Amino acid sequence: MKLFCKLAVLALISANVSASKLEIGIAELLEPTNSSESFLVFGTDGRIFELEQNRTEDIELVKQAMKEKLNITVDLGELAQLEDTLDTRNIIESVKLTSNEKENFSQEASFENKDRVYGNNALLNDYITDFSSYNDANYYFNRMRTDTRGKSQCYNRAHVWAWELYQNSYQGSRIQVGKIWLFFSRAYVRNYRYKWWFHIAPTVYVEKRLNVLDRKFATGPVFVKQWTDIFVHSSKTCVEVTRYSDYRRYNQDPSQDCIIMNTSVHYWQPFQIENLETRNQSQNSWAEYEVRKAYRNAIGWFARPVGMN
C-alpha cells in the first residue's frame, strides 16, 4: 500500500510538472509602456502571458518565433496549477523554440465563393438558424455538452458545439449556428490585467434577434450585450466591425474596451478572418480536419466527432 501511494504521488508530481509546459503560437508581442510593466505575449490560443523585461533572451526568442512563424514551448511554473480563471495571467518562466510551424492556415481552406455571401458582409457566407421561440432555442442550448475540458480553447469548444448542433434538424433544415468573436482591446487588456485577447461562442437567431449560445459562461441563450457584459467589466458597448483591419484599428484605440465581429460557422480561428482580407481566402464549408482537431482539444485526444467515422 505504501509503495502504491508513493507511485501515485510521483505520478501526480509528474503530471503537474508536464502541465506547466505549454506549446503555443505567437499572435502578437505587446511591449511595456513603462519600466514596471511586463511584455505581453498573445498566444494563438487566445491567452495572454506575461514575460518580464529582464528576460532579454526569452524576449528575443519570442520575436524570432513571430518572424519565422514558429511555435514556442513556455514554462509557466507554479501559476499553471491555479484555477483557470478569466483574470489571472500566467507568467512565462522560460521559452524554447520548437520545430513546429505555427498553425496559420487551414489544411482544407476553401476560396471565396461570392454566390454564397449573404449581404455585404463576406464573413457571413452561410445561413444561421432562426428559432421561432426562446423555448425552442433554450431546448437545444440545454442539449449542448458540458464535459469540455477546463483548459480547452474557446474556439475549439465553439466548433464542437456548432458541429453537434449541426447534427440536429429544426423545421426541416439542419441547425446551423453563426459565431461571434469578442476581441479585447490593448487598453482593456492593460487596464484590467486581462488574461484573454479574444473569446468566441456560437450564435443563433431567436425571432430574428441574435442570441449567443455560450454553454460555459451562460445559463441559456442571451442577447449580445448580455454576453459581452459577462467579460467586459466596464460594461461598455463593443464596437462592431466586419473586417479584420478594422479590428486592428479599434484594438489600438485607447477609448475602446472591446470589438465584436460576426461570422459564419465555418471560421474556426482568428487567422482565417484575417486571411479573408489579406489572401481573399474564405471558409465556406465544414473542414473535417478542423472538427477533429477541435474535438481533441475540447473533449480529449481520442474523442470522436459525432457523425464521423
Task: Say which CATH number the domain at 93 has.
Answer: 2.40.50.50
Task: Say which CATH number the domain at 139 has.
Answer: 3.10.620
| Dihedral sign (CA 256, 258, 263, 267) | positive
Answer yes or no: is 41 within a domain: yes
Provide the pLDDT for residue 245.
94
58 and 169 fall within a common domain: no
Answer yes or no: is 13 within a domain: no
93 and 133 fall within a common domain: no
Note whether 177 and 128 are within 8 A (CB).
yes
Residue 148 Cα to chain centre, angstroms: 14
193 and 78 fall within a common domain: no
Provide the pLDDT for residue 139.
98
Answer yes or no: is 307 within a domain: no
Count of domains forming the chain? 2
Answer yes or no: is 169 within a domain: yes
Cα separation, 153 vs 33, whole angstroms:
29
55 and 154 fall within a common domain: no
Cα separation, 24 vs 287, whole angstroms:
22
Note whether 25 and 44 are within 8 A (CB).
yes
Answer yes or no: is 5 within a domain: no
94 and 50 fall within a common domain: yes
- Which among 33-47, 141-155, 171-185 has the top mean pLDDT? 171-185
| Dihedral sign (CA 76, 80, 82, 85) | positive
41 and 153 fall within a common domain: no
The pLDDT tens digits for 38-96 are 999 999 889 999 999 999 999 999 999 999 989 999 998 765 444 455 667 889 999 99
Answer yes or no: is 293 within a domain: yes
Rounded to 5°, the CA angle 139-46-175 comes to: 25
Reported as half-sphere exposure (CB side, CA atoms, 13 A), residue 22 has a value of 24
Does residue 169 register a pLDDT over 90? yes
The pLDDT tens digits for 107-129 are 333 333 333 433 457 899 999 99
73 and 187 fall within a common domain: no
Residue that finishes a domain, picked among 38, 72, 101: 101
Residue 23 has a CB neighbour count (10 Å cut-off) of 13
Answer yes or no: is 79 within a domain: yes
Three-state DSSP at 137 gives helix
Provide the pLDDT for residue 174.
97
The pLDDT tens digits for 94-103 are 999 987 665 5
157 or 1: which leads in pLDDT: 157
Instruction: Look up residue 53 and give its DSSP letter.
Output: T
Q: Can you give the residue range of the structural domain that contains 35?
A: 20-101
DSSP one-letter string for 131-198:
ESSHHHHHHHHTTS-----TT--HHHHHHHHHHHHHTSEETTEE---EEEEEEEPHHHHHHTT-SBSE
Provide the pLDDT for residue 57.
96
216 and 287 fall within a common domain: yes
Residue that finishes a domain, picked among 57, 72, 101: 101
Answer yes or no: is 9 within a domain: no
Note whether 192 and 140 are within 8 A (CB).
no
The confidence band for 21, taking pLDDT boundaries of 50, 70 and 90, is: confident
Residue that finishes a domain, picked among 75, 101, 127: 101
